[in-house]
């Protein structure tokens, strides 16, 4: 496809209208005639966070930083969300997804090493304050708190899952969301790494990679849920009604009827896309969970009471939710290519889903899917979908985390695995990056790389502050392919120390020009 035709196609998919004549501007209330020309960067193998001209970064907090008298900032930070109380003060939630034993306690599977790893996952509640136009972490604030792999967390509505009404800890915390009532949602993704997995109606338990079950024989069914955290009370709960699978996101939107709708992907090859429609305001404890039939544009209700197929295979709705993947396939949910992050375009209301890749199926570079609910009703059971952007020749590979700014520009991060970087067919993309698809100006519809991550790392957890003069980004797992402590592949961010995941704040005149109200 010719470049200009491709750009017009992308703008059309963004939903802003057609490009008219030689003018690249998009007409309507969202037009930006002053949108800047952006000079991006090329791919890099430099062990640093490289940014386009006009952007700068500061490390806000990094692994092992003390957050209070007894607790440290965890390992492999991922999802970041900000509840901003005013222009100078806010509460940050940061997920800690998984561990790399070499860096924490050691590769030997001793109870002491596993205890250290349990302390390193989960998430962090953090106070941040703004001084001289920059956000800073307030170390001694009373709100600072860890929710980790040993925290006792109840299941909603006193539900008993695998003989208990609570789980010991939260693990695999990847992406997430923020509720309309001001709490955080943290998604348990690759839970099988920690406690293995249990197939539906099977006595065979798949062993875990980290072998935590040697000392903590916790049921795998206690993990793979969406966890809601109230930062004010430091309480958490695991939502049964949203189902159990490798939750990659929990993106909330309010329907026209005032109900909260939550979109979530199951980040595994040939798994599905879901949405949950709450039946009461101010809570996610009850409602209807749907799986997407993308082929026919239908949302299929995983409702035991109304489905003869589900009644035939499951004892009740709790069992449906505990083994959601099995139920989804029985109903006809469409297998997808690792559905990961989900974000909603603030201008058009369309839903964008990153499908990272599916190597066994030959989809090496992934794509971004656009979904439009019928009549733009988030409670609709019908939708239209189309591929918005395809990785590979577009200049990126393996899209993951997404975010829109207030002007409808799409920002996204790539997630090429550490073991794949530098190998074919990924070599030309080099390190992972942060990309922008402008909705305005002469470059509207093009993919522009704005950042390149340190070695082995991915950029994730992208989150704006309220003024959109700061973009928070997690730099996750630098140096992950290191074979030993004396053969490190990265030293970021401290050149004389172990590599460390960190949350950075990106700022500068280019960011302000792009997000200008």
DSSP for 36-101 reads PP---------SS-EE-TT-EEEEEEETT-B-SSS-B--SSEEEEEEEEEETTEEEEEEEE----H
* Per-residue pLDDT, 497: 84
Q: What is the pLDDT of residues 362-396, one digit of tens each?
A: 999 999 999 999 999 999 999 999 999 999 999 99
As a whole number, the mean pLDDT across the chain is 94
Looking at the chain, the whole-number percentage of residues with pLDDT higher than 70 is: 94
* Per-residue pLDDT, 4: 45
Beta-strand (E) ranges in 398-440?
A: 399-404, 410-414, 433-437
- Is there a contact between 472 and 409 (Cβ–Cβ < 8 Å)? no
With cut-offs at 50, 70 and 90, classify the pLDDT of residue 10: low
Give one DSSP letter per residue of 182-200, joined into a string. S-EEEEE--THHHH-EE-T
Q: Which residue has the higher pLDDT, 31 or 461?
A: 461
- Look at residue 156 and tell me whether its pLDDT is greater than 80: yes
With cut-offs at 50, 70 and 90, classify the pLDDT of residue 180: very high
* Per-residue pLDDT, 14: 56
With cut-offs at 50, 70 and 90, classify the pLDDT of residue 5: very low
Q: What is the mean pLDDT of residues 415-424?
A: 94
- Look at residue 25 and tell me whether its pLDDT is greater than 50: no
Q: What is the mean pLDDT of residues 177-188?
A: 98
* Per-residue pLDDT, 1: 37
- Look at residue 28 and tell me whether its pLDDT is greater than 50: no
- Is there a contact between 156 and 238 (Cβ–Cβ < 8 Å)? yes
Q: What is the mean pLDDT of residues 119-147?
A: 97
Alpha-carbon distance of 98 to 78, in angstroms, equals 9
Q: Which residue has the higher pLDDT, 270 or 17?
A: 270
CA–chain centroid gap for 258, Å, is: 25
- Look at residue 21 and tell me whether its pLDDT is greater than 70: no
* Per-residue pLDDT, 26: 32
Q: Which domains, from first to last, does the chain contain?
A: 3-515 (2.120.10.30)
Alpha-carbon distance of 466 to 469, in angstroms, equals 8
* Per-residue pLDDT, 162: 96
Looking at the chain, the whole-number percentage of residues with pLDDT higher than 90 is: 91
| Choice among 12-21, 25-34, 245-254, 379-388 with the minimum mean pLDDT | 12-21
**Strands of the sheet with 184-188, listed across from one edge:** 173-178, 184-188, 226-230, 235-239
* Per-residue pLDDT, 33: 81
* Per-residue pLDDT, 15: 53
How many degrees, rounded to 5, is the angle at CA 268 between CA 449 and CA 306? 125
With cut-offs at 50, 70 and 90, classify the pLDDT of residue 30: low
Q: What is the mean pLDDT of residues 201-225?
A: 95
Q: What is the mean pLDDT of residues 454-469?
A: 98
* Per-residue pLDDT, 22: 29
């Amino acid at each position: 496809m010719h470049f200009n035709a491709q750009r017009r196609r992308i703008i059309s998919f963004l939903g802003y209208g057609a490009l008219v004549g030689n003018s690249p501007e998009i007409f309507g209330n969202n037009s930006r005639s002053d949108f800047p020309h952006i000079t991006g960067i090329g791919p890099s193998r430099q062990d640093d966070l490289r940014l386009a001209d006009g952007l700068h970064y500061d490390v806000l907090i990094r692994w092992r930083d003390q957050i209070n008298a007894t607790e440290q900032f965890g390992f492999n930070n991922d999802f970041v969300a900000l509840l901003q109380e005013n222009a100078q003060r806010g509460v940050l939630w940061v997920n800690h997804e998984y561990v790399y034993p070499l860096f924490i306690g050691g590769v030997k599977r001793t109870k002491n090493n596993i205890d250290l790893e349990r302390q390193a996952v989960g998430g962090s509640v953090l106070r941040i304050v703004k001084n001289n136009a920059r956000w800073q972490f307030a170390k001694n604030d009373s709100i600072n708190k860890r929710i980790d792999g040993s925290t006792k967390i109840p299941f909603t509505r006193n539900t008993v899952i695998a003989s208990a009404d609570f789980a010991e800890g939260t693990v695999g915390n990847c992406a997430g969301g923020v509720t309309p009532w001001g709490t955080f949602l943290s998604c348990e993704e690759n839970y099988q790494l920690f406690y293995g997995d249990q197939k539906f109606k099977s006595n065979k338990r798949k062993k875990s990679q980290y072998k935590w079950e040697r000392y903590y024989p916790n049921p795998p069914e206690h993990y793979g849920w969406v966890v809601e955290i109230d930062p004010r009370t430091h309480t958490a709960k695991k939502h049964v009604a949203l189902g159990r699978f490798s939750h990659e996101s929990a993106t909330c939107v309010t329907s026209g009827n005032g109900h909260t709708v939550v979109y979530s992907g199951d980040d595994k090859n040939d798994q599905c896309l879901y949405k949950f429609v709450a039946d009461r305001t101010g809570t996610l404890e009850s409602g209807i969970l749907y799986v997407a039939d993308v082929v026919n544009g239908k949302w299929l209700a995983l409702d035991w009471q109304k489905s003869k197929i589900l009644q035939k295979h499951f004892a009740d709705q709790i069992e449906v939710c505990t083994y959601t993947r099995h139920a989804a396939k029985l109903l006809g949910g469409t297998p997808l290519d690792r559905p990961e992050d989900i974000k909603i375009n603030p201008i058009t209301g369309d839903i964008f889903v990153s499908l990272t890749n599916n190597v066994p199926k030959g989809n090496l570079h992934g794509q971004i899917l656009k979904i439009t609910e019928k009549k733009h009703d988030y409670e609709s059971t019908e939708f239209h979908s189309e591929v918005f952007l395809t990785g590979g020749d577009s200049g990126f590979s393996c899209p993951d985390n997404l975010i829109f700014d207030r002007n409808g520009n799409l920002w996204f991060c790539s997630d090429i695995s550490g073991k794949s970087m530098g190998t074919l067919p990924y070599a030309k993309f080099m390190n992972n990056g942060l990309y922008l698809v402008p909705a305005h100006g002469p470059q509207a519809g093009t993919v522009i790389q704005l950042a390149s991550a340190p070695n082995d790392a991915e950029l994730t957890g992208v989150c704006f502050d309220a003024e959109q003069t700061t973009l928070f980004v997690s730099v996750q797992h630098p140096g992950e392919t290191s074979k030993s402590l004396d053969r490190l592949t990265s030293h970021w961010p401290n050149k004389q120390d172990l590599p460390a995941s960190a949350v950075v704040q990106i700022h500068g005149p280019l960011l302000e020009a792009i997000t200008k109200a």
